[in-house]
């Protein structure tokens, strides 16, 4: 039977990713500075709908496309063997190669699982760090923020990254897991030292540093988790251990994912983002407020708006610029076929600056509705730690108000790391004053 020309025209066409303009042509090669340049050009009239990365991935950056594609089941997370091809094989020698510690840690993340295992592991974590249990820790978190501030001198230069953000998030997780303060602070430092694994172009020296840090970081969390389980009285760890033991899925490193074999392994894998990305959220919140001192003035009069202010800070300065996905089966999307196996670079931070979704996106607007913000991703793989990251950043703002402390810049506050999938400052030199 012959098809009519009209019926043939209705068939979706295959998206030719290789023919798309590159991200580099629009100024993006990683890191916050390049990302800001990219956003100025990518949303100009006449700019392409899609781009491609230097590695050939489909780059999605417009708000409507990111939100719609994230809801597609066939847009999957990269499984462990896709993230680390050949690294996790059973034939490895006793002396593991550089990079193995990173791979063996990240395979425990729910971000590398798909389908029912992703949903199951996500529920295990959200039962402990979802909106209700996290909100219940609000007072305790503010006390940690006050403790950190009270330990610091006034009137002298400090580094907000290493002396406020990392201690705050380290002590937060440490209190839940049963870590000593020294263990918690050390784990936060090791999480920062793992940063090179997130670079777009990796160098041998950086991978060696990140791999060593992964070993040390994991040891801190697994040791403390096992100690808390043995001693009892730590529901955060014991509930996770109980729920993990009830999971009955076969490991599938090629797609489905990996079931962590202990609460310590589960926490070490999933809380890497809890330490690292949440520290960025704290830092980026304060960095944004330094550009908008009038906001802190308003918050001192209306402290109940602190959560809204943090959301707007993180819309403007989202920690995660992009994350990678893969099309697991031919994906029909808006009249196009995106072939199975296509890597997709989801530029979540760009969607927060799409003027079609957020009018006048460069402006800080404390009254701006935050519905649709993609600070923490979207769809089935949205970040489960978003409630904690927002809480700790808000708690720091509230502690600054309670202690009547102002923060002012004390040097270069734009030392952003390039070649990076994150908006991350090396340091944020500030002075605390009454």
Report pLDDT for 91. Answer: 77
> Could you tell me how many residues make up the chain?
434
Which has the closest alpha carbon to 255: 347, 346, 329? 329
Phi, psi torsion values for 305, nearest 5 degrees: -95, 10
Which has the closest alpha carbon to 375: 395, 401, 402, 393? 393
Question: Beta partners for 433?
Answer: 406
Domain count of the fold of the chain = 1
Give average pLDDT by consecutive 10-residue segment, the chain, 434 residues: 48 93 97 98 97 97 98 96 90 84 98 97 98 98 98 98 98 98 98 98 96 98 98 97 97 97 98 98 98 97 97 98 97 96 98 97 94 94 96 98 98 97 98 96
Report pLDDT for 9. Answer: 52
**Dihedral sign from CA coordinates of 318, 323, 327, 328:** negative
Q: Is residue 50 part of a domain?
A: no
Q: Is residue 22 part of a domain?
A: no
Q: How many CA within 13 A on the CB side of residue 305?
A: 16
Distance of alpha carbon 337 from alpha carbon 331, whole angstroms: 5
Q: Is residue 317 part of a domain?
A: yes
Distance of alpha carbon 214 from alpha carbon 393, whole angstroms: 25
Q: Is residue 398 part of a domain?
A: yes
Given a contact cutoff of 8 angstroms between Cβ atoms, the answer to whether 347 and 370 are in contact is: no
Distant-in-sequence, close-in-space partners of 327: CB < 8 Å, separation ≥ 6: 74, 75, 76, 338, 339, 340, 341, 342, 344
Q: Is residue 339 part of a domain?
A: no
Distance of alpha carbon 350 from alpha carbon 123, whole angstroms: 28
Q: Domain with 388 in it: what CATH number? A: 1.10.630.10
Q: Is residue 209 part of a domain?
A: yes
Task: Report the side by side order of strands in the sheet with 58-60.
Answer: 51-52, 58-60, 343-346, 323-327, 75-77
Report pLDDT for 5. Answer: 47
Which has the closest alpha carbon to 433: 409, 417, 397, 398? 409
Given a contact cutoff of 8 angstroms between Cβ atoms, the answer to whether 269 and 279 are in contact is: no
Q: Which domain holds residue 423?
A: 84-324+365-433
Q: How many CA within 13 A on the CB side of residue 21?
A: 14
Residue 187 to residues 163, 170, 215, 333, 388: CA-CA distances in angstroms? Answer: 14, 7, 10, 42, 17
Q: Residue 423: helix, strand or coil by DSSP?
A: coil
Distance of alpha carbon 416 from alpha carbon 393, whole angstroms: 19
Q: Is residue 303 part of a domain?
A: yes
Q: Is residue 119 part of a domain?
A: yes
């Amino acid at each position: 039977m012959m098809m009519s020309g009209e019926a043939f025209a209705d068939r979706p066409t295959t998206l030719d990713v290789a023919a798309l303009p590159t991200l580099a042509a629009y100024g993006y090669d990683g890191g916050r500075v390049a990302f800001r340049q990219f956003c100025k050009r990518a949303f100009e009239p006449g700019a392409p709908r899609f781009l491609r990365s230097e590695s050939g991935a489909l780059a999605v950056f417009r708000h409507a496309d990111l939100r719609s594609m994230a809801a597609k089941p066939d847009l999957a997370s990269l499984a462990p063997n896709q993230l680390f091809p050949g690294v996790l094989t059973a034939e490895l020698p006793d002396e593991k190669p550089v990079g193995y510690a990173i791979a063996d840690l990240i395979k425990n993340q729910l971000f590398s699982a798909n389908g029912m295992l992703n949903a199951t592991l996500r529920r295990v974590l959200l039962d402990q760090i979802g909106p209700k249990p996290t909100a219940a820790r609000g007072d305790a978190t503010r006390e940690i923020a006050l403790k950190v501030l009270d330990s610091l001198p006034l009137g002298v230069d400090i580094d907000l990254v290493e002396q406020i953000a990392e201690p705050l998030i380290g002590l937060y997780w440490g209190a839940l897991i049963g870590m000593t303060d020294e263990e918690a602070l050390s784990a936060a430092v090791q999480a920062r030292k793992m940063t090179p694994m997130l670079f777009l172009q990796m160098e041998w020296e950086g991978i060696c540093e990140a791999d060593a840090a992964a070993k040390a970081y994991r040891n801190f969390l697994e040791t403390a988790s096992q100690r808390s389980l043995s001693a009892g009285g730590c529901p955060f760890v014991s509930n996770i251990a109980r729920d993990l033991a009830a999971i009955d899925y076969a490991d599938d490193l090629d797609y489905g994912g990996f079931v962590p074999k202990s609460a310590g392994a589960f926490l070490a894998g999933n809380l890497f983002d809890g330490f690292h990305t949440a520290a960025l959220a704290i830092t980026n919140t304060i960095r944004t407020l330094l550009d908008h001192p009038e906001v802190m003035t308003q918050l001192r009069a209306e402290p109940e708006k602190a959560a809204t202010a943090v959301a707007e800070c993180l819309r403007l300065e989202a920690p995660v610029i992009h994350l990678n996905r893969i099309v697991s089966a031919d994906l029909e999307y808006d009249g196009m076929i995106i072939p199975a196996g296509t890597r997709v670079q989801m530029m979540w931070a760009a969607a927060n600056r799409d003027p079609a979704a957020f009018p006048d996106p460069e402006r800080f607007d404390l009254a701006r509705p935050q519905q649709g913000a993609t600070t923490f991703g979207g769809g089935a793989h949205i970040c489960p730690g978003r409630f904690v990251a927002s809480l700790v950043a808000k708690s720091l703002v509230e502690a600054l108000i309670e202690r009547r402390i102002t923060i002012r810049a004390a040097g270069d506050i734009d030392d952003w790391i390039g070649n990076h999938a994150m908006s991350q400052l090396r340091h944020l030199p500030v002075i605390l004053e009454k």
